[in-house]
Amino acid sequence: MYRLLLTFACFILLSPAVLRAEELPQLKVAVLKIGTVNWELDTIKRLELDKANGFELVVQGYAGGDATRIAFQGGEADVVVADWIWTARQRAAGKGYATFPYSTAVGGLVVSADSKVQTLADLKGEKIGIAGGPLDKSWLILRAYAQQKYGIDLVASTEQVYGAPPLIFKSGLSGEIDGAINFWHFLAKMKSAGMRQIISVSDAADALGLDPATPLLGYVIKDVFVAENPNLVMGFYAASRAAKAILAEDDAAWNDLRARMNASSDAQFFTLRDDWRVGIPPEGPVDEVAANAMLAVMATLGGTKLVGDATTLPAGTFLTLE
């Protein structure tokens, strides 16, 4: 684990004169073109928070998540956004990847407004649509919760339908499925359209003794890049936290993001904004004991297909920025 000795509080902001006087180092981030991380990165670029922190942010958009990881692994990008369980898996396989938090945002399970379903126990015999496949982290946590709380196996007691997030979104709204587990921003749109959330993944995780503040998504960087560019990494961290602070408090800052958010109504726009804010991770180091407990649940239910050899949290998975 790296301990970068520069702090967010004392990071030196470069003046415009200095910025013009020398070429800034670039930081290339590979992201999904339609990913919600672009809301933060757009804010960094628009408000020149990158330049203020001594670097130029270059956002590289890709059509799929696999493509972003290939670009990162192949050296075409310096940073990629991924869940830390993937980072832990790669680290356990001998790859020097580390992460710092981007978001704690997770989904939940929603049903139609007039559904008789009130709890997960009521889903017996019903059809559940799940985005992300059988190893989706939200699905695994809800499975563990249902087993502990109600003594039921959701795999055995329900019919599962797996599909891409837009398909689960449409199927949920049309009533083709009885319940839906989707990525958080699609769930926000489903809730704004009148669907009812019966449980969030955060609440389920909390009931399982896990810490819902454990950030799922993070910015992944190679160890060697951190060692060679500590100021650049710290500058990116500072810019990220500054953008989060602005988006957490300034409603007007969201107006410039509305087109990218693809919100078809004010209700969608406000729900997306508010749910994104809820996902802002706290500052400070990640609780590795809590992360290890979550990894154990993932390993038990997802097996090596999900976690690989990372049955316990590999040292150095999380960057310590202080």
Q: Roughly what angle, to the nearest 10 degrees, separates helices 230-249 and 37-46?
A: 100
Whole-angstrom Cα distance, residue 17 to residue 44? 20
Considering only CA atoms, which of 74, 65, 71 is closest in space to residue 37? 65
Structure-model confidence comparison of residues 108 and 322, the more confident one: 108
Q: What separation in angstroms does the CA of 210 have from each of 43, 121, 152, 297?
A: 32, 21, 20, 9
Lowest mean pLDDT among 9-18, 94-103, 172-181: 9-18
Q: Would you place residue 21 in the very low, low, confident or very high pLDDT band (cuts 50, 70, 90)? A: very low
Cβ atoms of 257 and 43 closer than 8 Å: yes
pLDDT in tens, 33-60: 989 999 999 999 999 999 999 999 999 9
Cβ atoms of 49 and 243 closer than 8 Å: yes
Considering the four listed CATH numbers 3.30.70.270, 3.40.605.10, 3.30.2020.30, 3.40.190.10, the one that applies to the domain covering 3-104+215-321 is 3.40.190.10
CA atoms within 13 A on the CB side of 124: 8
Question: Which stretch of DSSP H or E encloses residue 70?
Answer: helix 65-73
Lowest mean pLDDT among 21-30, 113-122, 308-317: 21-30
Whole-angstrom Cα distance, residue 43 to residue 245? 11
Is 90 exceeded by the pLDDT of residue 294?
A: yes
Cβ atoms of 178 and 122 closer than 8 Å: no
pLDDT in tens, 146-167: 999 999 999 999 999 999 999 9
Is 50 exceeded by the pLDDT of residue 1?
A: no
- What mean pLDDT comes out for the span 255-268? 92
Is 50 exceeded by the pLDDT of residue 13?
A: no
Query: Above pLDDT 70, what percent of the chain?
Result: 93
Is 90 exceeded by the pLDDT of residue 320?
A: no
Is 90 exceeded by the pLDDT of residue 305?
A: yes
**What integer pLDDT is reported at residue 22 of this predicted model?**
63
Task: Name the DSSP letter for residue 5.
Answer: S
- What mean pLDDT comes out for the span 123-131? 96
The dihedral through the CA atoms of 71, 72, 75, 79 has a sign that is positive
- What mean pLDDT comes out for the span 135-140? 92
**What integer pLDDT is reported at residue 278 of this predicted model?**
92
Cβ atoms of 32 and 68 closer than 8 Å: yes
Cβ atoms of 35 and 22 closer than 8 Å: no
3 state DSSP class of 37: helix
Question: CATH class for domain 108-207?
Answer: alpha beta
Question: What's the predicted TM-score (pTM) here?
Answer: 0.87
- Helix, strand, coil share of the chain (percent; to 5): 50, 20, 35
Cross-strand partners of 150: none
Considering only CA atoms, which of 297, 294, 112 is closest in space to residue 198? 112
Task: Name the DSSP letter for residue 59.
Answer: E
E strands along 260-321, which residues? 320-321
**What integer pLDDT is reported at residue 107 of this predicted model?**
86
Q: Where does CATH 3.40.190.10 sit in the chain?
A: 3-104+215-321, 108-207
pLDDT in tens, 204-251: 999 999 998 898 899 999 999 999 999 999 999 999 999 999 999 999
**What integer pLDDT is reported at residue 322 of this predicted model?**
62
Whole-angstrom Cα distance, residue 194 to residue 197? 10
Cβ atoms of 233 and 221 closer than 8 Å: yes
Whole-angstrom Cα distance, residue 26 to residue 162? 39
pLDDT in tens, 69-122: 999 999 999 999 999 999 999 999 999 999 999 999 888 999 999 999 999 999
Q: Would you place residue 258 in the very low, low, confident or very high pLDDT band (cuts 50, 70, 90)? A: very high
